[in-house]
Structure 1
């Protein structure tokens, strides 16, 4: 094997070898600035997300160390920022609560959370070996929108206790938490509410009026500064408490927990991969290599396995932090390496200051992040474009709210399967007309003024024809035939990529039924795969070349010649 081939093979598994040798000096400034800005955003965000998972705040920073470092070396995306996300955090919290049970001390959940990350990594690696990159498209966008909105509501409600100064048991459902709040209104700590309101104002207004300043960092700094000079305990405002100084120590996963964690780990792995791939594709830079979904499985898997050995919980590529990275001008994953270095410095030297942060500040950070998961505009757009998609989204949303977070993943998967089955089982079948003065054939239902041809019915269906949908396609064809009573039925096959054996046998039977009814079947614009199947079947002998056409226009001209009416058609 040549040196070039060897380098290419290594670069496939270690993409840093692909961009580092060609690194341009002009990129360095952009990567350094992007890494600094990303650290300013990721640091407070990661600490806030850790509280969603029911873990100590420093564990959120641990997720921005080993997982982010490993992905920066192995990931195929040059801009994806891999650390904690709000969705993965709430999923982690639910998994730990279900598998390990509630704990009065968040530190007790560190090793179980790291074990969960390890299992997530194992599942992602296995998926990579099995070439399951197609799973990136497994959950449809409407279903994912509804699922994330449900998560957003759950997270939002779970943080209300912190911003109201109320004590609410961890793991309480949306309805239970709402009930506790409504019955505890007289116990609200108003200084806590005031601090949370100020933090929210900073988080909402600063990006609007001074977008270049990281609002989350300003909010955290303001909270810590206030705590340093004012005795907040005296006002009943809780602080996050002591944070250990230093980097996370190496620790082995607790394999005794595998039995109780493997199922939620499977769902979290799917969510991590889906989120990460979507973010990587959305922020892919011009001229950058395409995102390799199977390689992303490998890179994310290794990142989570590394996190599992260094006290992190499951990690993934988040849209918000990736957007910050991309908008700050990141050119390569060097920006993420800069972020990792800055987070490490924070853990080494600034932990005592972070311990002064009020819980209300973190709670407000989480509220803003949770609100961002509820994309009202997406729901409105679905309602305007296709209401069925809105129904899928609302079902996924309801699954999370009513059944719970982990159960919501199962609901989302089942709904995605259902939408796939519905689409496969209901392929569109419609009549065609010709746009006047052209050779363009389009749906007659959308363009009733288009030309039609007496005795000739042009029809089109879309998608692969196979055993699950062929009966419905033929039933729909008969409906159109009975409405038109043609002499010839021309089936436009342009949008049929393939015909499965069962479907082919059904088409042969359909042609025979048409013949018995005195109707002739013609085919036009067959794709190579479909043409191959027909050529090797008895249908080809029945049709002959004179009943199979290159396109619809050629078929219409043949029909006109057959009837001696070409002048009328022209």
Structure 2
């Protein structure tokens, strides 16, 4: 019996010491929002270094620009020409999906990459508009203002919606809420991508068939009703 009691006392897992509620909450929030501990480089640094590290953290070009070489420039030039050859027609087509002038689609093709070059950290990411966002803009704002009858006000609403979408995305990035994507299942993402591709294909019927009065709705029934009502 004595040996058994000694064995159990040796194998017993000690209870961790209890932490105050505020410290426990702070530790859990830090583990959730900052799992990679992005501020570890600021520890034990003078104020001047902390300021420079902060600028490099939010504006990464300050960190890598001094090490940029001509060989990097040649490779980036080839990559830029390749991406631009796709981004120019893509921007014009996405402007058509959003019911805005094509020149605005070109602006959206080169302004985001210029900003991302200074504020982004990925070397392989091509930034620009997407088809789903263009369709959502058209279907959402088309119910309020007609892009053909009042194009100026429609474009202003597009700028406003784009601005607030950017503010919302910037807030998600600052608050480190990217982990929310982990809660989306693979089936949900695949279904969304498949549905978006189907909607984009049906929206192209307007240009392919030369339809003038096309519906602003994106569902299959409304699109097919609009198509058959004009071709018969």
TM surpasses 0.5 = yes
Change in 2 beyond 3 A, CA 1:138/1:121: farther
**What's the counterpart of residue 10 of structure 2?**
none
Contact map agreement 2:95 2:105 (CA 8 A) in 1: yes
**Separation in 2, partners of 1:156, 1:115:** 27
Unaligned runs of 5+ in 1: 187-570
**What's the counterpart of residue 33 of structure 1?**
78
Whichever of the two has the greater Rg, that structure is 1
Helix, strand or coil at the partner of 1:111:
helix
Residue 19 of structure 1: which of 34, 42, 64 is its match? Answer: 64
The reply to whether residue 132 of structure 1 matches residue 152 of structure 2 is: no
**Separation in 1, partners of 2:231, 2:173:** 51
The reply to whether residue 185 of structure 1 matches residue 226 of structure 2 is: no
TM-superposed CA distance for 1:5, in Å, is 4.5
**What's the counterpart of residue 140 of structure 2?**
95
**Separation in 1, partners of 2:102, 2:187:** 32
Residue 104 of structure 1: which of 145, 148, 163 is its match? Answer: 148
**Separation in 2, partners of 1:67, 1:138:** 28
Change in 2 beyond 3 A, CA 1:108/1:156: farther
Change in 2 beyond 3 A, CA 1:184/1:94: closer
Contact map agreement 2:95 2:104 (CA 8 A) in 1: yes
Contact map agreement 2:56 2:62 (CA 8 A) in 1: yes
Residue 75 of structure 1: which of 103, 106, 120 is its match? Answer: 120
Map 1:162-241; keep pairs closer than 5 Å: 162-172=207-217, 173-185=219-231
1:122-165 deviation line (CA, Å, top 9, x unaligned): 21233234331212434333212211211221221122021112
Helix, strand or coil at the partner of 1:29:
helix
Contact map agreement 2:145 2:154 (CA 8 A) in 1: no
More strand per residue: 1
| Greater relative CO, 1 or 2 (CA 8 Å, sep 6+) | 1
TM-superposed CA distance for 1:102, in Å, is 3.0
1:265-318 deviation line (CA, Å, top 9, x unaligned): xxxxxxxxxxxxxxxxxxxxxxxxxxxxxxxxxxxxxxxxxxxxxxxxxxxxxx
**Separation in 2, partners of 1:61, 1:121:** 18
**Separation in 2, partners of 1:14, 1:83:** 19
**Separation in 1, partners of 2:182, 2:138:** 25
1:373-418 deviation line (CA, Å, top 9, x unaligned): xxxxxxxxxxxxxxxxxxxxxxxxxxxxxxxxxxxxxxxxxxxxxx
Contact map agreement 1:55 1:107 (CA 8 A) in 2: no
TM-score by length of 1: 0.31
More helix per residue: 2
TM-superposed CA distance for 1:65, in Å, is 3.7
Map 1:249-288; keep pairs closer than 5 Å: none
TM-score by length of 2: 0.71
Contact map agreement 1:56 1:107 (CA 8 A) in 2: no
1:175-214 deviation line (CA, Å, top 9, x unaligned): 122123234435xxxxxxxxxxxxxxxxxxxxxxxxxxxx
